Structure 1
Amino acid sequence: MGGAERTARKRRQEQMRQQAAKPAAKPAARGVDKRTVGIIVAVVLLAAAVTGGIVWYQADKNKTEGQTIAAVAQGAPAWPERRDGLVVVSGKPEARVTLDVYADFLCPACGEFHKRFGKQIEEQVAAGTVLLRTHMIPMLSARSDPEGYSLDSANAGLCAADSGVFTPFHDSLFAAQPEEGKRAWDKAQLTALGRGVGISDPAFPACVEGGTYNQQLDAELTRVTEDPALHQEFPDGNKGFGTPTVTADGKPVSTSDPEWLTKLLSGAPAA
């Protein structure tokens, strides 16, 4: 082999070594569409927010599930109490003033009324000044989820009256009033409240579960809503029956004045 051939051969070998020593070429990077990435991130965040919102809503809507209604008192009150048809009568018959209160256990305005005036009224009942007649009207039975709490609680109130422990049961339901449009208290929870306020009557659970007074309460709802003597004027100018409605010795009373009860009693004749 001549010198020129050896030189050429060495050159080719050197070129081959240099080529082998070169790092493998990387594939060209694909360009990232920032707008697409942004859309994907937004969709993921929105989905997470929606899912979280649904979970929160369901939890809030059903927050009464598995809970116990707290009893605010136990045992029969210090004053006489009895059921008279669909009305619970509390106090002494010789009281100077007879108050009729029409309310719904789900009605927010009724809850506020009880919060503001319930204790004052009960103090006057205990003093023998007021005879209280409580009418539980199931106006909002379609406004709980599931429907029916207004009727179930009204019936349970009458069952509690039959067992001689109405006032603590009534006051406990208003103290733990569920929100309109959400899950309320079911029959098992109402029955448990009965035990909590001291009801030991074995007839009470069956009365609650069986809806003993349901048909009569539905009929009473129709009666009072059609009674013009119980109609009042609403802020929108319409007239009709609403809860709470209060009458004193058969005459409608406006409870917008915080001193309405004091003024009513100050003008009542002595016994």
Structure 2
Amino acid sequence: MSNPTSKHTPRPVSSKTTYALAGVAVVVVAAIVAALYLWNRGDGGGVRNDGYGPVHDPAVTVALDSDGAIVLGKSNVAKTIDLYEDPLCPACGQLEKIYGQEIAQQVDLGKIEVRYRLVNFLDPKSKSKDYSTRAVAANECVAQSGNGPVYSKFHQLLFTTEQPSEGGADHDNKSLADIAKQAGAGDDVAKCITSGDRADTARGHAEAALKTLDTKLDNRAATPAVFIDDKKIDVNKKNWVLDAAK
């Protein structure tokens, strides 16, 4: 890694690498999880609920909590999923590609709400060296609008067709604002993103979320990570979303 306070020690982990971040004493696995196996094996274990798309129901709202969690769902929902992810994390992109539409339908049905807890440990792996932080800030700008379907579409785009590759070109703030407008966000949201005014706040939220995740996983924080009632969910089980919605 280019950050002089950290080191990069490669070793085999699901064909990807383990990032040792000395400054935070945390090991973050940027690996394609076994869900990728489901994606590739060709026995019906690919994209779940393909064709549904992002959240549809205008009754779904989104809110930005004081701790930085982005909460997507309807009121009085019994089940809450905490989903930790980095905007540049390829495994997080695969999770969204495979399960994002199924999650969206269960949110529309009022079965679950999702608390997106975005982290930024992959900033050094982006060409701009701060992409993850700026993408977290953009998510917060969109979430502040309160429009659930717009946020859901923005999140889907950012983690699928618009997700940059590690080390490759990433989005500047104007490009992030354009993606938000593509998702249906208004000019006020676009201005929030292009101004970069939320960058410092988003960085604080992302670093706090990473510390919390590190604690939950015994100092081995990894993304993506899903929790229900502080219990880690095995996302390698293809029915985990439907099981969560029961």
Structure 1 residues 41-80: aligned runs within 5 Å: 77-80=58-61
Residues 73 and 246 from structure 1, CA distance in 2 versus in 1: closer, same or farther, beyond 3 angstroms? Answer: closer
Q: Does residue 86 of structure 2 align to residue 101 of structure 1? A: no
Post-superposition, which runs of at least 4 consecutive aligned residues in structure 1 deviate over 4 A?
72-78
Find the aligned partners of 2:134 and 2:93 in 1 and give their Cα distance. Answer: 17
1:101–1:246: 8 Å Cα contact kept in structure 2? Answer: yes
SS of residue paired to 1:135 = strand
Structure 1 residues 213-232: aligned runs within 5 Å: 213-227=198-212, 228-231=214-217
User: Partner letter of residue 247 of structure 1?
Assistant: F
2:96–2:159: 8 Å Cα contact kept in structure 1? Answer: yes
Q: Which residue of 1 aligns with 2:129?
A: 147
Q: Which residue of 2 aligns with 1:259?
A: 239
Q: Which residue of 2 aligns with 1:269?
A: none
2:54–2:101: 8 Å Cα contact kept in structure 1? Answer: no
Q: Which residue of 2 aligns with 1:82?
A: 63
Residues 75 and 255 from structure 1, CA distance in 2 versus in 1: closer, same or farther, beyond 3 angstroms? Answer: closer
- In the TM superposition, residue 247 of structure 1 has moved relative to its aligned partner by 0.8
User: Partner letter of residue 171 of structure 1?
Assistant: Q
Q: Does residue 104 of structure 2 align to residue 131 of structure 1? A: no
1:89–1:133: 8 Å Cα contact kept in structure 2? Answer: yes
Q: Which residue of 1 aligns with 2:7?
A: none
- In the TM superposition, residue 217 of structure 1 has moved relative to its aligned partner by 2.7
Find the aligned partners of 2:125 and 2:108 in 1 and give their Cα distance. Answer: 34
Alignment: residue pair count: 188
Find the aligned partners of 1:229 and 1:125 in 2 and give their Cα distance. Answer: 28
- State TM-score, norm by structure 2: 0.69
- Using the aligned pairs only, state the percent identity: 27
Q: Which residue of 1 aligns with 2:159?
A: 174
SS of residue paired to 2:227 = strand
CA RMSD of aligned residues (A): 2.3
- In the TM superposition, residue 231 of structure 1 has moved relative to its aligned partner by 1.4
- In the TM superposition, residue 122 of structure 1 has moved relative to its aligned partner by 0.9
User: Partner letter of residue 122 of structure 1?
Assistant: A
Q: Does residue 221 of structure 2 align to residue 241 of structure 1? A: yes
Find the aligned partners of 1:195 and 1:130 in 2 and give their Cα distance. Answer: 26
Going by fraction, where is helix more abundant, 1 or 2?
1
Identify which of 169, 172, 179 aligns with 1:193.
179
2:79–2:113: 8 Å Cα contact kept in structure 1? Answer: yes
SS of residue paired to 1:209 = helix
Find the aligned partners of 2:216 and 2:196 in 1 and give their Cα distance. Answer: 26
- State TM-score, norm by structure 1: 0.63
User: Tell me, which stretches of 5 or more residues in structure 2 are unaligned?
Assistant: 1-52
